[in-house]
Chains A and B, each alone.
Chain A
């Protein structure tokens, strides 16, 4: 299986407190579940993978391209001299091949349809194509009946499903889901898990899910990673 994403020696700290310590991992295809208690660094790890945040140190390679950071030795970066290697400023083309569904989702104050269409619209897709893809995605997450509702009025389970549809519609090669079922009821958890498993059948995306639910990890994962105190347990 080809390498999709590899991380080497990732370090990250906030206000001098280390959150990720020397994390390295290579992801191929399939569903990965990132387990760990609250505060273990799961979200930070996903945000760094999804290029929302820079690591303090380390390398990130996507799709076997040249590393996004030139090889850096630990201790080389001090005093914020990181701008030349700033991952966040890297090309938008790469960023558009991956996406992350945030735990809070972040719905836009507009209809469910327009929320899901956003990613396609900013990519300049044609209107008919947008309509077709959005309708398909909404159908996939069972939200077609709420298509014209204001997204703000959705329940938390529906909001998560909207987040997944919004991410799915852009057909990402890597999809990160940060605690997709943390704030939803049992029924919705089941629906969301079914969506994820169906996604595996229907698309070739690599899916990386952060959760602290052991049973869920067992149900979904091809591979389970455990993060504790900022490092992967071997």
Chain B
């Protein structure tokens, strides 16, 4: 009976608390917009670092992933099937696991500890490259595999060298490859697990959008978190719109 009346008392309190909470959320949103439109310096720094880390990681992943994707798509070699399966599996790598292993390798007692990379933007770039690479490689592989074999033969009959044939196949698969690169960018921009572990979320140094949202939410400091959340969503939206445009252009060009 006592327990029951305690429950009644609690549930009666609920609506008031709810109103207070709604109030503070709305207030946080207003402050968040204020931060965005006043071009708050801290906010801009965080966004800039996010774009820099993810941009460099994407560039490295594209430079290494594209040739690998093309190679796996066009050449026959032993263990090719295993390579494709591995690439596909690594597309879904859990970021925290990547963060954990990279932490172990980069920590002072780890094999690469002497490089002093832990808790630096470089460590974050490495983590994101590891996450982006399989996406770029795997999606460019499937884009190239989907180019009709007759294209390869046509290039050969016109006198293309094997390298020129490869380039032509990549050009034919360009829309699929671009989709892969953009999908990889979307993944690394939204990722938090790996960079939180290896970056350490140090203010002004390794603090990026996603890690800031995690930290500020934890502290109950919502306005900065919401502002970054809105911007992150906007970036996601832009990425998806570009992806959609590219795919549509690819379809029109394919005559579909």
Contact = CB atoms under 8 A, between A and B. Distances in A.
A196 interface: no
Nearest to A105: B154
Contacts of A123: 159
A99 B151 contact: no
Interface stretch (B8-16, B54-62, B160-168): B160-168
A102 B157 contact: yes
Contacts of B168: 108, 118
A106 B153 CA distance: 8
B254 interface: yes
Contacts, number: 59
B148 interface: yes
Contacts of B156: 52, 95
Contacts of A92: 159, 161
B253 interface: yes
A150 B253 contact: yes
Contacts of B172: 108-109
B172 to A, nearest CB: 6
Interface in A73-125: 92, 95-96, 99-102, 104-110, 118-119, 122-123
B157 A101 contact: yes
Given A52-B153, A102-B154, A106-B148, A122 B255 contact: no
Given A119-B159, A167-B158, A108 B253 contact: no
Which of B148, B159, B160 neighbours the largest number of chain A CB atoms within 10 Å of its CB? Answer: B159
Contacts of B164: 122
Contact of B159 (A99, A150, A152, A153): A99
B90 to A, nearest CB: 30
B82 interface: no
Contact of B253 (A95, A104, A109, A170): A109
A152 B255 contact: yes
A50 interface: yes
A187 to B, nearest CB: 22
Nearest to A47: B153
B150 interface: yes
A102 B209 CA distance: 53
B11 to A, nearest CB: 64
12 contacts: A52-B156, A52-B157, A99-B158, A106-B148, A107-B154, A109-B172, A118-B155, A119-B158, A122-B158, A150-B253, A152-B253, A167-B157
Interface of B: 148, 150-151, 153-161, 164, 168, 171-172, 253-255
Interface of A: 50, 52, 92, 95-96, 99-102, 104-110, 118-119, 122-123, 150, 152-153, 166-167, 170
Given A108-B168, A119-B158, A167-B158, 10 more contacts: A102-B150, A102-B154, A102-B157, A104-B150, A109-B253, A110-B171, A122-B159, A122-B160, A153-B255, A170-B159
